[in-house]
Amino acid sequence: MQRASERTVTVHLTHGGEYFGPVGPFEAAGGWWSSVDGVVARAAELAGVPMLLLRLVEGRSEHGGHGGHGGQVCYHAEALERPTAVEARPLDAGTAALLGPAERRAAWATPAGLADALAWAQAELAGAGRPATGPARQIRTWNLSGLFRLPTATGRDAWLKTTTPAFNAREGEVIALLGGVDPGLVPPVLAADPAGGRLLLDHVPGEDCWSPSLDTVEEVVPRLVAAQAALAADGRAATAGLRDRTPRTLLAQAEALLERLPGETDLTPGELAGVRRLVAELPALLEELAACGLPETLVHGDFHPGNWRSDGERSVVVDYADSCLGHPALDGLRPRAYLAPERWQHLVEVWLKAWSKHAPGSRPWRALQLVEPLYHLSYALRYQEFLDHIEASERPYHTGDPAAELRAALACGVPDLTGRNVWPGRA
């Protein structure tokens, strides 16, 4: 389905506990609700005061489509100084309910939490000898993270990322693990606060590789495979305290998820029964997957090309919030949904060649065939983690995602375990 290229936005503006009414509605370029750079700029222009968005208040996708994109969107923003162009006004009951406190609200979705995160970043930059030279530019905010770009005295920007520690990897530690093997594969970390879910990164030149060149694929994929193989070989991946998504643990977690889903999903009784049968048949698949000879290791968790950055000479992999200990074929399969078929086939060949080099005698092509139902189960679990930890107003971003992944697992079924064990096109 083609995505809407813009959204209609209204911003509820507050400052220091006072309410200054709605700003808008106005049209904002870029349909993704979490992308707020242009929204902040336009709302600040209309209100005559600098501001930062705190969170999504309401969102309705156009024609009831995919949550998080297009349609009509309402945000809550906090003005950075008291507005003078508009008057404070009383809150009506409905708006007060929308803007009031809520369980599981992200720290960066409150005025105090957002100010604290930005102050932390500015203090870390000052301590590193590259103080911020201007206000932070807000790029992205939603239930999973906040992303801010800060200009510094060196002329090279820094990036603040905020996440919720309860359900995300400690990205600084993951980056350090991978960087210990291949420093150029990861973004430079300027500071990290794992307990607070804060990460300060140096700017990485280039563009996100949503449409990666063949050369970029041939650079990035083998480097990740090499790092994963090295971390498995020396045992560091297994002892790093990563979230456990190894196949047997994943299967047990999927069984536990199915026990709670009847009351939380629109899966039909027949679909739920089908997924249960699928999960019950997976132990035999796990045995053959283990026999393919690929090691359990650090898995990026969201290894699509939009999380690669390249300036044409150097490529870096970013965004490690989903990282875990798991089967590397989960990363191998992730780019498929983002690439045209011929580009996907090229990436597969590169991935297979890399693992054949680092795990001689292994059968990576068979692992990639076998892992698909586990892939969908792993994302059903991940999306349910999101829903379990975010506030109610932001559930539209992911409501229905666990069920969609379980339907995908049901559709692919258990691969034929009596097959020829070759990748299509191979003799």
**pLDDT tens for the chain, residues 1 to 427:** 345 578 899 999 999 999 999 999 999 987 889 999 999 999 999 999 999 999 999 888 775 555 678 889 999 999 999 998 888 999 999 999 999 999 999 999 999 999 999 999 999 999 999 999 999 999 999 889 999 999 999 999 999 999 999 999 999 999 999 999 999 999 999 999 999 999 999 999 999 999 999 999 999 999 999 999 999 999 999 999 999 999 999 999 999 988 887 666 788 889 989 999 999 999 999 999 999 999 999 999 999 999 999 998 889 999 999 999 999 999 999 999 999 999 999 999 999 999 999 999 999 999 999 999 999 999 999 999 999 999 988 888 888 899 999 999 999 988 887 755 555 544 3
C-alpha dist (Å) from residue 197 to 136, 158, 349, 373: 18, 17, 37, 31
pLDDT at 427: 32
Helix, strand, or coil (residue 14): strand
Query: Cα separation of 373 and 398, whole Å?
Result: 20
- Measured at the CA of 309, the angle between CA 377 and CA 184, to 5 degrees, comes to 100
Place of tokens 């604290």: 116
Phi-psi region at 301: left, alpha or beta (left = phi > 0; alpha = psi -120 to 50): left
Domains in the chain (CATH in brackets) are: 6-100 (no CATH), 109-202 (3.30.200.20), 207-412 (3.90.1200.10)
The neighbour count for residue 267, using CB atoms within 10 Å, is 20
**Residue 388 pairs with which residues in a beta bridge?**
none
Residues 6+ apart with CB under 8 A from 152: 125, 130, 131, 132, 133, 158
Q: How many whole angstroms separate alpha carbon 231 and alpha carbon 385?
A: 26
Sheet harboring 308-310: ordered strands across? 207-208, 308-310, 315-317
Model-level pTM?
0.93
What is the β-pairing status of strands 158-163 and 315-317? unpaired
